[in-house]
């Protein structure tokens, strides 16, 4: 029989609850605060701006209300709690990823390789633009309409590669996790530079100076030196494109072996 306090059971998802379908009034009732003209879309957009500017650690409903110029009670008229709002914001930015049309609705279907590259690149771009998002993935189910549209399109594309049905999820996971890892590291590094009040070049030079006289860190020093040449962004884009090509080539070879 347990003797200690039991942890609260985590909610499955805002999107799977009755709250997602509940209708909210456009304006709060009298007495709930100065929220005239406020609606859920405006609350979500302000949430994303605040998270982009200040990060997840500093985000609070009180700070959000201040940014909107309303009282916290006005914000709670549109969402029940902070978790719901963060999950809605996470789904909203998934809508920034360009999703290819269903080839069944087009007269000239695109090659699956190009579509997979576009999806992976769009996913990485979203994570870099919103470094807080990677911290929320796994915290929430991410089952909103925009995230679902992205996942559905990605699965549709990978199935067109011609892999056996039981291999398709693994291939898609490889591409997804690669883009997630690349975008997460890139976004969080840029976020750390902003937090430290410096730019990436300056911080890389500082690290290079601290490691160049340490032979045991030769590999790290060489990697940093490569990115202090003024071509950092170009090299990063090239590395991402090449690594993605390697993954797609691997999928292609597995598809061909399955055909054989």
Instruction: Tell me what pLDDT residue 20 has.
Output: 83
Instruction: Tell me what pLDDT residue 126 has.
Output: 98
* pLDDT tens per residue across span 72-128: 999 999 999 999 999 999 999 999 999 988 765 554 556 899 999 999 999 999 999
Distance CA 116, CA 86 (A): 28
* pLDDT tens per residue across span 4-46: 444 445 567 899 888 886 755 445 544 445 556 799 999 999 9
Contact 130, 187 (CB under 8 A): yes
Instruction: Tell me what pLDDT residue 10 has.
Output: 55
SS3 content of the chain, % helix, strand, coil (to 5): 65, 0, 35
202: CB partners within 8 A, 6+ apart: none
| Burial per residue of 61-98, b for 16 or more beta-carbon CB atoms within 10 angstroms, e otherwise | beebbeebebbbbbbbbbbeeebbbbbbbbbbbbeebe
Q: Which residue from 35, 69, 33, 74 is spatially nearest to 50, judged by alpha carbons? A: 69
What mean pLDDT do residues 221-238 have? 68
Instruction: Tell me what pLDDT residue 41 has.
Output: 95
5 token code pair: 């306090």
Q: Which residue from 182, 225, 181 is spatially nearest to 201, judged by alpha carbons? A: 225
Instruction: Tell me what pLDDT residue 131 has.
Output: 96
| Distances, alpha carbon 8 to alpha carbons 11, 81, 89, 176, in Å | 9, 15, 23, 31
Contact 141, 13 (CB under 8 A): yes
Q: Which residue from 121, 126, 152, 153 is spatially nearest to 137, judged by alpha carbons? A: 126
Instruction: Tell me what pLDDT residue 198 has.
Output: 77
Distance CA 11, CA 17 (A): 9
* pLDDT tens per residue across span 152-183: 999 999 999 999 999 999 999 999 999 999 99
Instruction: Tell me what pLDDT residue 226 has.
Output: 55
DSSP line for 64-93:
HHHHHTS-HHHHTTT-SSHHHHHHHHHHHH
| Distances, alpha carbon 105 to alpha carbons 101, 109, 114, 115, 178, in Å | 7, 9, 18, 15, 29
Query: Helix, strand, or coil here: 75?
Result: helix
Helix axes 82-94, 40-54, angle to 10 degrees: 80
Q: Which residue has the tokens 């030196």?
A: 225
């Amino acid at each position: 029989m347990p003797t200690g306090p039991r942890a609260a059971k985590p909610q499955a998802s805002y999107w799977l609850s009755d709250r997602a379908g509940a209708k909210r009034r456009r304006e709060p009732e009298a007495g709930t605060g100065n929220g005239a003209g406020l609606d859920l879309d405006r609350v979500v957009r302000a949430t994303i701006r605040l998270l982009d500017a200040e990060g997840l650690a500093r985000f609070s409903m009180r700070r959000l209300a201040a940014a909107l110029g309303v009282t916290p009670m006005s914000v709670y008229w549109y969402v029940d709690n902070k978790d719901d709002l963060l999950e809605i914001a996470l789904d909203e930015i998934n809508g920034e990823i360009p999703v290819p049309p269903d080839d069944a609705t087009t007269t000239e279907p695109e090659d699956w390789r190009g579509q997979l590259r576009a999806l992976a690149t769009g996913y990485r771009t979203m994570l870099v633009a919103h470094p807080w998002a990677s911290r929320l993935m796994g915290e929430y189910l991410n089952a909103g309409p925009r995230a679902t549209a992205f996942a559905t399109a990605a699965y549709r594309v990978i199935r067109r590669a011609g892999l056996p049905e039981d291999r398709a999820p693994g291939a898609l996971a490889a591409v997804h996790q690669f883009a997630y890892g690349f975008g997460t590291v890139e976004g969080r590094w840029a976020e750390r530079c902003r937090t430290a009040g410096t730019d990436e070049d300056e911080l890389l030079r500082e690290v290079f100076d601290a490691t160049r006289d340490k032979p045991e860190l030769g590999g790290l020093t060489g990697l940093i030196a490569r990115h202090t040449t003024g071509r950092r962004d170009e090299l990063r884009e090239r590395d991402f494109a090449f690594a993605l090509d390697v993954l797609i080539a691997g999928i292609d070879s597995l598809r061909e072996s399955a055909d054989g």
